[in-house]
Structure 1
Amino acid sequence: MEVQVWLRWYTRILDDFGFDRRADEESASYLDAFLREHGCLRVDDIDVPSSDFIVFGAGPSLRSHLKRFRALDEPMTVISADGATTALLEEDVLPDIIVTDLDGKMEDIIEANRQGAVLVVHAHGNNLPALRRYLPLLQNIIGTTQSIPHGCLHNFGGFTDGDRAVFLAAALGAGRIVLAGMDFGEVVTRYSRPDMDSELGPADPVKRLKLEYASRLIDWLERNGDVRIERW
């Protein structure tokens, strides 16, 4: 997605959610400064095992889709969206790439990163404290922003961790992207909400609107991108 196209979506998102663009850009500046000092990866630095990608979201179908994936006998580039990383590690699946705004179960994200997963860390107005806390514990980082990309920061398009992962896959040259654990419904899992006691729970209105945007953005990519999207 070209940045100018994304910015039209971003303007609507700011209005619908009441987000502060200045806060987004403050967090982005912090992430960029950290990566400039400690080193940042570029897209060409990511090892892509296959042009067939699978993106795991943290929806209710995640566990069943993980079992279906493990039964496959084909190479795929595996991307997990934030909290979905926990479920993958529970099934002994190490993602190649994790797309995160650092609000999943961080001990699992840190462990997967230690084992070799590349982290695509996103900056937005609500996660500056998390950036300050966790960036020193991470390595092999690509930085993203939802505002204007600059310095070490990219903007591939996408809003939530899940649909940003799909746009990232497209930017990495995917010919096929399988959507797994991406339900876009009204139920969330403990992988999406690590603070939740039960396995499943109702999505609040903000989460439902985020998932609606995620679904619409992926639909846009399917219509306008040069990639085949397969929904499990």
Structure 2
Amino acid sequence: MKYSEWAPVYYDILTDFGFEQVDDEHAREVLATLTQPTPVSPEYIQGRNVLIAGAAPSLEEDMSAIEDHTIVAASDAGVRLADNGILPEIIVTDLDGEPEQTVNLVQENDILLVVHGHGDNIETLKQWLPIQTAAILPTTQTAPAMHIQNFGGFTDGDRAAFLADHFDAQSLSFIGWSFTDPTVTDAKRQKLDWAAKLLHWLEIRRQEQFDILDQYRDTLSLPSSVTESNV
């Protein structure tokens, strides 16, 4: 996804959450100083069936669905997969949750870490980066600059899907996802609502239907800024 397509939706998110773009821009600058401008790119995703593993409580139950997929794990899903003998090829995270375990995992294995900077995790980035022995692809949710990329998406999970789409995955499947977890905070629920909305936008763009949206699709709306030019 081009940033020109993502930007109007990003501005919707800023408005809905009360975020400030300048904070995301600051996080982008910090992330640039903590990572290397090396040409790391998961082009091996192209033409592959990609499985996006979320960190919902059902992840372990859903692992039987893993076969012949390139695995992109969101947040702590990478650690939980590894605990069950399954190594993802990519972990997409803002280092929330269990960053130490994630950092150790990518250092000890050939796993690409797609690390995200935003206004709320600057101190976390400073605490855990740089990582000298891991392949790192840094991302932002505001305009890309320097070696910091933006493939679209907002939460770790939907950003993983947008990443796979950007690099031309043949199909996207999902395990370990829940949009209706009653235990989450109101802020987390708002983010889950946005994740569902963004995945709905992505499935329309891909002319594909994601099974995790089947029970929600009739009630989902597209971001208000989405038009025929960026649907």
TM-score range (shorter-chain normalised) is 0.7 to 0.9
Gapped regions of structure 1 (runs ≥ 5): 188-201
Kindly indicate whether residue 147 of structure 2 is the aligned counterpart of residue 152 of structure 1. yes
Q: Check conservation: 1:52, 1:76, Cα contact below 8 A.
A: yes
Within 1, Cα distance between the matches of 2:207 and 2:102? Answer: 30
Q: Which residue of structure 1 aligns with residue 40 of structure 2?
A: 42
Q: Using the alignment, how far apart are the partners of 1:185 and 1:4 within structure 2?
A: 31
Partner of 1:179: 174
Q: Secondary structure at the match of 2:162?
A: helix
Once residues 206 and 170 of structure 2 are traced to their aligned partners in structure 1, the CA distance between those partners, rounded to angstroms, is 10
1:79 CA displacement? 0.6
CA 1:212–1:102: 2 relative to 1, 3 Å:
same
* Secondary structure in structure 2 of the residue aligned to 1:137: coil
Question: Residues 93 and 156 of structure 2 are in contact (CA less than 8 Å); yes or no, is this contact kept in structure 1?
Answer: yes
1:60 pairs with 2:57: yes
Deviation readout 1:168-216 (Å, 9 max, x if unpaired): 01112101110111111134xxxxxxxxxxxxxx111110110010011
Match of 1:120 among 114, 117, 136: 114
Aligned CA RMSD, in angstroms, stands at 1.9
Q: 2:197 aligns with which of 212, 216, 219?
A: 216
SS of 1:78's partner is strand
Between the aligned partners of 1:46 and 1:111, the Cα distance in structure 2 is 24
Partner deviation per Cα, 1:1-23 (whole Å, 9 max, x = no partner): 33122111111111111112111
Residue segments in structure 2 that go unaligned for 5+ positions in a row: 214-231
**1:130 is matched by which residue type in structure 2?**
T
Code of the residue aligned with 2:187 in structure 1: it is V
Which residue identity does 1:223 align to in structure 2? Answer: I
Q: Write the distance in 2 (CA, Å) between the matches of 1:125 and 1:2.
A: 22
Q: Does the CA contact (< 8 Å) of 2:6 and 2:152 recur in 1?
A: yes
TM-score after normalising by structure 1: 0.84
- Normalised to the residue count of structure 2, the TM-score between the two structures is 0.85
Sequence identity percentage: 35
For 1:91, the equivalent position in structure 2 comes to 84
CA–CA distance in structure 1, aligned partners of residues 178 and 148 of structure 2:
29
Partner of 2:32: 32
Structure 1 residues 50 and 92: CA distance shift in structure 2, 3 A: farther
> For the Cα contact (< 8 Å) 1:49–1:76, is it kept in 2?
no
- Equivalent pairs counted in the alignment come to 211
Q: Report the CA distance between 1:49 and its aligned residue.
A: 8.6
Contact 2:45 2:169 in 1 (8 A): no
**Structure 2 match to 1:195:** none
SS of 1:92 mapped into structure 2:
coil
1:205 to 186, 197, 219: 186
The answer to whether the 8 Å contact 1:95/1:112 transfers is no
Equivalent-residue separation in structure 2 for 1:111 and 1:48 (angstroms):
24
| Separation of aligned partners in 2, 1:21 and 1:42 | 26
Contact 1:53 1:178 in 2 (8 A): yes
